[in-house]
A = this chain, B = another copy of it.
Amino acid sequence: MGKLRYAMVGGGRDAFIGGVHRKAMALDGQMEFVAGALSSSPEKAIASGRELGLADDRNHARWQDLLDDELRRPASERIDFVSIVTPNHMHYPVAKAFAEAGINVVCDKPLVHSSEQAQDLIATVGKSGSVFAVSYNYTGYPLVRHARHMVRSGQLGEIRKVIVEYNQGWLANLLEGSGNKQADWRTDPARSGIAGCIGDIGSHAENLAATITGLEIESLCADLTTFVAGRKLDDDGNLLLRYSNGARGILISSQIEIGGENDLRIRVFGSLGSLTWHQENPNRLLHSAIDAPPRILTRGCPWLCDAAVRATRLPAGHPEAFHEAFANIYAGAAEAIRARQEGRKLSSLEGDFPTLIDGARGVRFIEKTVESAHSTAKWTPF
């Protein structure tokens, strides 16, 4: 089975997340980086591609050139998918163009800037048949998948309450404007969208809760705050949630919580038990049944579900972490891409990755959160 060839848009020098995507794709030796348009600055794009060993004829100054070039190439040379890791505002035009051309896409989150754009992408993909994955990377952790399994198979009973948090502190001061590229674009409405913290990391929290529980938000009540003077977007956002089954939720996100590194965590409570998982210590999942002592489920143990087992490379106690979770998203997308290429259906365990549906719901979550934050009504319908 040959490697999948991919191009990248964004992810050049000074970018953070592009390199993470490349490492994640490299890890299992199943993907080959062959083309790119790595920056919105043509000079930086070319220089970045050279540093990363792209052939000159596949190293482009503009993403449109990349797309044109790929479409000119014979199928035997063409990329199997494109990975889009630009700032948020470029997701839509790039994803739209590649998907329209029938090329498979893995796109970073939040997907796009508006629900209209999201719906348009869904329609586009509906026509072209492209595989489209959204890199909500945290859902790639094996124990997130086992948590999903436990909830979905009823081991927690009826879900009553979800507490999901994403706590960071790196924007406790005015970092933007001081040369930090990450801080610059993530706090800039033109590139980041209508939300700051809640768009950047609150959206991960929403996705994590939805992935594990499958619950649908019925209405929400949001309080968004900008604590740091001079900042253009929210740096803290907290929500009360009501789910359609009657469950309640609390979503906490912040980028001004000093001491918070990348503290994504979730607790799910049902009528029969609860689960607790923490991204910074991702190899364990705590399960409390109503009538038994809490149990510590660790990655790599024999009592985990198939989806968790498939997402595991190392035995218990040999920790896996962020890169591997990311790689699992790509591995799921790769299965779908190969199935498309081979004209076959995915088995039930294959193709485990966040889809456009997740991406679109995430965009709606951001919109509704901002709407609620400006509303005097307690509950904003979702």
Question: Which A residues fall within an 8 A CB radius of B?
Answer: 2-3, 16, 19-20, 22-23, 26-29, 33, 52-53, 160-161, 163, 168-170, 172-173, 221, 223, 225, 227, 236, 238, 240, 242, 248, 250, 252, 254, 256-263, 267, 269-274, 276, 279-283, 286-290, 292-298, 300-301, 303, 313-324, 375-379
Contact = CB atoms under 8 A, between A and B. Distances in A.
Contacts of A169: 269, 274, 288, 290
B262 A248 contact: no
B313 A23 contact: yes
Contacts of A276: 259
Contacts of A3: 53
Given A298-B261, A378-B378, A317 B168 contact: yes
A256 B16 CA distance: 41
A35 B321 CA distance: 29
Q: Specify which of A26, A282, A289, A317 lies most central, judged by the most chain B CB atoms within 10 Å of its CB.
A: A317
A365 B111 CA distance: 41
Q: Specify which of A272, A290, A318 lies most central, judged by the most chain B CB atoms within 10 Å of its CB.
A: A318
B317 A160 contact: no
A319 B138 CA distance: 12
Contacts of A272: 258
Given A293-B296, A293-B297, A377-B377, A288 B269 contact: no
